[in-house]
Amino acid sequence: MTTVTSTKAAPAPDLSRIDPALANGAAWINGRIVPVGEASIPILDWGFTRSDVTYDVVHVWKNAFFRLDDHLDRFAASMKGLRMSLDLDRAAIAGILEEIVARAGLSASYVAMVCTRGNPAPGLPRHPASCVNRFYAFALPWVWVIPPDVQERGTHVIVAKTPRIPTECVDPTIKNYHWGDLTRALFEASDAGADNAILLDHEGFVTEGPGFNVFAIVDGTVVSPDRGALEGITRRSVLEICTELGIPNRIGPLSRADLDRADEVFFATTAGGVMPVSRVDGRIYTNDRPGPVSVRLKDRYWAKHDEGWHVTPIDYARYARPLGS
């Protein structure tokens, strides 16, 4: 697969040549592609018993991956950071991701690559160095972190009382399944009648939300937190678009007080793009609607997909079932 920049749309899958058993998603498990609902991992895998796992998620939009190379880079860096390794090279991983999307016939998809610690073989010490790391992947029909109707009116969020896990304990720049703090924050939000939550660190600075980066427009500058947050690929895209449009931007400290005085707040994630916020802890922004800068960035983000920015087309025909099968 090759990343290209083109205004020509990638060819759509021929759904008549797609295995209907994979229509709800496909998974790659131990060299086999199975319906995602039938996928399983060994119960003794430390990815399950200890959350000793890293992963990355790339999205497919209009028949093409977006920023696949960047997601593969981050996945490799995350594995290195956790002292994991696989017997699959980068090209093999990319090929698996393409195949599960193509075999499922997904034009818009949420695609995960996962590396677990595995578990020690019988007789070996119960130590992470004795484990054989395992690779899994799955592709689902498109998933929105925040539903489109909520994005349309602007997301209502709270600042959670639950603090973000300290970076000294869990490195937030490595994607992981340590969601205890994020899950508690989501329950706080639902209890308060809000859609979602923002988490602060122990010093009161903004970090991130459950599955998304946070941005605030403060004194005319788009600011995203410099601590306690994943170095998001979509965040990178947003900052690049800001530069393209001449909007000042930076990664830096963002305090709770900055949220209160911000002109706009918005989120960004692979599974949703740019997602405007209209309320934080009851404070109303831009007449309780998505702000003009947030909307401009959102529109430009999706327009650039159509222009072929960082696009890797999927070869559906390569994996199609023979006619009449």
Tell the residue number behind the tokens 């895998």, with chain if given. 45
Element (H, E) at 215: strand 212-218
Task: Provide, for the chain, the percentages of residues in helix, strand and coil under a 3-state DSSP scheme, each rounded to the nearest 5.
Answer: 30, 25, 40
Q: Same domain for 155 and 109?
A: no
Pair (135, 154) in one structural domain? no
Residues 6+ apart with CB under 8 A from 321: 17, 18, 19
User: Do 154 and 275 have their domain in common?
Assistant: yes
Domains contained in the chain, number = 2
Q: Mark whether 173 and 136 lie in a shared domain.
A: no
Q: 123 is in which domain, residue-wise?
A: 15-143+309-319
Q: What is the pLDDT of residue 7?
A: 47
Whether the predicted pLDDT of 6 surpasses 70:
no
The model's pLDDT over 185-204, given as tens digits with 9 standing for 90+, comes to: 999 999 999 999 999 999 99
289: helix, strand or coil: coil
Q: Are residues 163 and 241 in the same domain?
A: yes
Asked if residues 152 and 174 have their Cβ atoms less than 8 Å apart, the reply is: no
Clarify whether residues 170 and 117 are in a common domain: no
10 occurs within a structural domain:
no
pLDDT, tens digit, for every residue of 111-150? Answer: 999 999 999 988 889 999 999 999 999 999 999 999 999 9
- 130: which 2 tokens? 């004795």
pLDDT digits (tens, 9 = 90+) for 275-301: 999 999 999 999 999 999 999 999 999
Token output for 65: 């991956």
Six-digit token pair at 270? 């692979």
Question: pTM of the entire structure?
Answer: 0.94
Query: What values do phi and psi take at 209, rounded to 5?
Result: -120, 180
Q: Are residues 123 and 245 both part of a single domain? A: no
Question: What would the mean pLDDT of 208-218 be, rounded to a whole number?
Answer: 98
Mean pLDDT of the chain: 94
Cα maximum dimension of the chain: 65
Other Cβ atoms less than 10 A from the Cβ of 226: the count is 14
CB-based contact 90:8 (threshold 8 Å): no
pLDDT digits (tens, 9 = 90+) for 235-279: 999 999 999 999 999 999 999 999 999 999 999 999 999 999 999
Does 5 score more than 60 pLDDT?
no
Q: What is the pLDDT of residues 53-79, one digit of tens each?
A: 999 999 999 999 999 999 999 999 999
- pLDDT at residue 4 is higher than 90: no
162 falls within a domain: yes
CATH of the domain at 50: 3.30.470.10
CA 90, 91, 95, 96 dihedral sign is: negative
pLDDT band for position 230 (cuts 50, 70, 90):
very high
Q: Are residues 112 and 157 in the same domain?
A: no
Identity of the amino acid at 165: I
Section 8-24 average pLDDT: 82
Say if residues 139 and 109 touch (Cβ distance below 8 Å): yes
Q: How far apart are CA 208 and CA 194, in angstroms?
A: 16
User: Do 153 and 286 share a structural domain?
Assistant: yes
Indicate if 123 and 193 belong to the same structural domain.
no
The pLDDT of 31-43, averaged and rounded, is: 96
Kindly tell me if the per-residue pLDDT of 2 is higher than 60. Answer: no
Q: Which residues pair with 134 in a beta bridge?
A: 116
pLDDT tops 90 at residue 321: no
Nearest to 254 by CA among 183, 315, 204: 204
| 21 pLDDT tier (thresholds 50, 70, 90) | very high
